Amino acid sequence: MNRTKYSWLLGIVMVVALVLAACGAPAEQAAPAEEAAPAAAEEEAAGPAELPQIVPIEGPEVILDPAMFPTEFSEAPMLAEMVAAGELPPVEERLPDPEDIYVIEPLHEIGKYGGTWRRGFTGPADGENLMRINSSSRLLTWNYDASKIIPSLIKDWEINEDHTQYTLHLRRGAKWSDGHPFTAEDILFWYEDVALNEEIWPTPPNEMMIGGEVGLLEAIDDFTVRWTFAAPYPLFLDILAGHNAVGVGPDTEGAWNGGGYMPKHYMSQFLPAYSSEAEVTAKAEAEGFQSWLEMFSYMAYLPHNPDVPTMGPWKTVTPVNEAVWSEVRNPYYWAVDTEGNQLPYIDEIVVTLAQDSEVLALRAIAGEYDHQGRHISISKLPVFLENMEEGNYRIDMSRAFFHNNVVSFNHSYDGDAEIQKLIQNRDFRRALSMGIRRDQINEAIFLGLGVPGSSMIAASLPSTPGEEYVEKWATFEPDQANALLDSIGLEAKDDEGWRLRPDGSGDRLRIELAAPANIGWEWDGMLEMIKDHWTAIGIWADLKIQERSLFETESRANNHQLAVWTNGGSSALWLYPRHVLPVNLVEAYMGPEIARWYNSGGEEGMAPPYPEMEHALDLFRQGYGVGGDERNKLAQEIWALVVDDVWQIGTVGQGAGIAVTSNRLGNVPRNQCPAQHCRTPATSHPPTYYFKD
């Protein structure tokens, strides 16, 4: 961060003080269901009307009583025209059977049809931008504050006494966006032909390996499936409602061959089992792919492929690799409001490429976006407040769901033997952590709204080991840090005071800090500050600020030394563990080769370099088969290891975020569940958003 920008950020802290005076203390958020019941939110504090206030989480209700279901149905004018032209069947034939319809009571009022929702995105790697909005297409979901699991594509279920067998009932009459029936075959296809296909998944998804054996799936009839596991699996419904290989749906996880189901009638054409190896290979080559495997993953992902059917509220028209990415309403979407109006209300979503987060912020300030929180930095709050009237928008502020902004050590890094030894040295990791002024980062980047500390989530949660871990190895202690660095053989320095490599070469020790550009959390600025802080301990940092897709590619290739990301989702450790432990092949900032080892059962990759990390992974495996109280004890032990051994450096957590919402848009909550398993804004049901005029 340049000095001018740094000074400007420090200067606007005075403005934020006014905001805090208006907001009062932030509302306490609901804890995920497996950890604790939702906490009561504080009442909205009085304050100037123009300043944002953190209010309790709010959202629409899903109606579960069939006696309250509507019996007459309406549709969007654009679809009514297609019905009149003979291009679509009537709305009653497109919806599920009357007793299986999905009914949502909008947050404030019944909406109107029409309009285009305008947003901004940062490039082809920003698929989450719309897939979070489309995430109502998962098998199970959460209510708006994440306090309980509720039906989605699965309408109800039965569980046997020891939690080894789950019978799941699908919505009869639900259809894909092309009109093809959604049935048990789509779940069976994903599991048997994709997840258990060793060419696609060399080992089955970990969420399906319980008691050392893969789960058994059977179709009882067209709309009923039964899972049977070798050992108790009390967490299975949470997994189906979570963000993982099984629960989130193919719109989000298709690119990684996950999701829990796939459109068999469409995706089977890309598998050798349904034609031949030669045929699908020829098809892949004709489409410009290196292999049929690459083609399959590409075609399964909604942002890439306008032709893939979806169960979500909108379907792709132009793909994410265009300058304008767009989606249009799904005419077969299986939800209605309480008056029988088929959802969504909004006709289309158009997302325009912004070259960086500054451009995106300027467009938001100018009122060019209708609802956007993604890539909007809290540091821009004063500017947004100044332009609210002219831009015709409101600012919504929410507290982050217990998470932290962390710098993860890549514990499997092998690009430089000396750097590898240092990364795998606990005293080195502790020293780097104690060389950071977190209070300065909090004030300059997060406007003083966060909690400086270790990587641990909020100490108030029952899954954490206690308050003492908040600041463990996470306060600025340059004398102690320097002593640790000296003790591990890094006492030699050059003429400018920078520590030298321990190999005797006389070269300066250089540590790389990587971050994705234009994410919206000012991570580039945060790393600039860390680089500056480390001068006090003689550590030189080279910053690698990379376009997001390059950042992700480099991470998966094991090329990063240290990398920054949020550990969002970690409050629900077994639903979203990837930011705490190296268990996920897509995001494994703590060691992609260790993640390969974990996912292959030790047959590939690199074993954890420390017995403590291997023990933590064993504890994590155990957690799938135990109840909530015992799982919390396992989580406490895991967090104690993560923090004490400093596998990642925490900086500032539990900060506030802002969203810009047009005053023309209705039914948008002022505060939404921001946890990863909520798939924000999915649990606020964006299909119920509408334009007032």
For 456-512, how does the pLDDT look when each residue is reduced to its tens digit (9 = 90+)? 988 888 999 999 999 999 999 999 999 999 999 999 999 999 999 999 999 999 999
Q: From CA 473, how far away is CA 511, in angstroms rounded? A: 19
Angle between helices 438-445 and 523-533 (to 10 degrees): 150
DSSP letter for 154, please. Answer: E
Average pLDDT estimate for 58-63: 97
Nearest partner of 349 among 367, 331, 332, 326, judged by Cα: 326
pLDDT in tens, 113-172: 999 999 999 999 999 999 999 988 999 999 999 999 999 999 999 999 999 999 999 999
User: Which strand (E) or helix (H) includes residue 613?
Assistant: helix 611-623
Mean pLDDT of 418-434: 99
Contact 567, 403 (CB under 8 A): yes
pTM: 0.88
CA distance 34 to 675: 13
Specify the pLDDT at position 45: 33
Is the separation of the CB atoms in 399 and 29 below 8 Å?
A: yes
pLDDT number for residue 569: 84
Q: φ, ψ for residue 221 (rounded to 5)?
A: -155, -170
Measured distance CA(83)–CA(73) in Å, rounded: 14
Residue 58: per-residue pLDDT: 95
pLDDT in tens, 196-233: 999 999 999 999 999 999 999 999 999 999 999 999 99
pLDDT at 35: 37
C-alpha 136/C-alpha 335 separation (Å) is 10
377 versus 616: the higher-pLDDT residue is 616
Look at residue 52 in the predicted model and tell me its pLDDT. 64
- Per CATH, which fold does 135-301 belong to? Dipeptide-binding Protein; domain 1 (3.90.76)
Q: Which range is least confidently modeled, 41-50, 216-225, 248-257?
A: 41-50
In the structure encoding, which two tokens stand for residue 364, read together?
A: 């938001």
Residue 28 has pLDDT above 90, yes or no: no
Task: Name the percent of the chain lying above pLDDT 70.
Answer: 92
Give the residue range(s) of CATH 3.10.105.10 domains in the chain.
404-653
Query: pLDDT tens digits for 380-410?
Result: 899 999 999 999 999 998 876 567 889 999 9
Instruction: Report the candidate in 313, 598, 446, 568 with the shortest Cα–Cα distance to residue 26.
Output: 446
Query: Got the DSSP string for 301-319?
Result: -TTT-TTS--SSSEEEEE-
What's the rounded mean pLDDT across residues 286-293?
97
Please tell me the least confidently modeled range out of 131-135, 330-334, 644-648.
131-135
Fold of 404-653: Dipeptide-binding Protein; domain 3 (3.10.105)
What integer pLDDT is reported at residue 295 of this predicted model?
98
Residue 402, pLDDT score: 64
User: How far is residue 25's CA from residue 227's CA, in Å, rounded to a whole number?
Assistant: 45
CB atoms within 10 A of CB 132: 21
Q: Is the pLDDT of residue 652 over 90?
A: yes
pLDDT at residue 296 is higher than 90: yes
What b/e string do you get for 437-466 counting C-beta neighbours within 10 Å, with b at 16 or more? bbebbbbbbbbbbbbbbbbbbbbebebbbe
Does the pLDDT value for residue 177 go beyond 70?
A: yes
Instruction: 488-492: list long-range contacts, CB under 8 Å, 24+ apart.
Output: 488/422, 488/425, 488/427, 488/428, 490/422, 490/428, 490/538
**What pLDDT is attached to residue 230?**
97
Query: Looking at the predicted structure, is the pLDDT value of residue 420 above 80?
Result: yes
Tokens at residue 71, please?
């019996």
Q: Please report, rounded to a whole number, the percentage of residues in the chain having pLDDT higher than 90.
A: 80
Q: How confident is the model at residue 54 (pLDDT cuts 50, 70, 90)?
A: confident
pLDDT confidence of residue 26: 35
pLDDT for residue 7 is more than 60: no
Of the candidate ranges 92-101, 259-268, 330-339, 622-631, the one whose mean pLDDT is the lowest: 622-631
| Burial label, 387 (beta-carbon count in 10 A; 0-12, 13-18, 19+) | middle
The answer to which of 21-35, 63-77, 347-361 has the lowest mean pLDDT is: 21-35
Of the pLDDT bands very low, low, confident and very high (cuts 50, 70, 90), residue 613 is: very high
Residue from 476, 487, 409, 464 nearest 637 by CA:
464
Span 559-566, mean pLDDT?
96
- Judge contact between 128 and 362, C-beta under 8 A: no
292 has a pLDDT exceeding 60: yes
What pLDDT, on a 0 to 100 scale, did the predictor assign at position 377? 85
The one-character DSSP state at 56 is P
Per DSSP bridges, beta strands 154-159 and 165-170 are antiparallel
Q: Does the pLDDT value for residue 50 go beyond 80? A: no
What's the pLDDT score for residue 401? Answer: 59
Cα–Cα distance for residue pair 51/460, rounded to 1 Å: 28
pLDDT band at 328 (very low <50, low <70, confident <90, very high): very high
Query: Using 50, 70 and 90 to split pLDDT, how confident is the model at 599?
Result: very high
Residues 531-537: what's their mean pLDDT? 98
What average pLDDT does the structure give for the chain? 91
Of 522, 509, 542, whose CA–CA distance to 379 is shortest?
Answer: 522
- Picking from 519, 567, 498, 397, the residue whose alpha carbon sits closest to that of residue 24 is 397
Angle at 518 between CA 513 and CA 520, to 5 degrees: 100
Whole-number Å distance between alpha carbons of 575 and 34: 9
Determine the pLDDT at residue 522. 83
- CATH 3.90.76.10 region(s) of the chain? 135-301
- pLDDT of amino acid 1: 42
Rounded CA separation 7/22 (Å): 24
Give exposure, 188-217, as e/b (b: 16+ Cβ within 10 Å).
bbbbebbbbbeeebebbbbbbbbeeebbeb
> Residue 70 — pLDDT band, cuts 50, 70, 90?
very high
* Rounded Cα–Cα distance for residues 398 and 382 (Å): 16
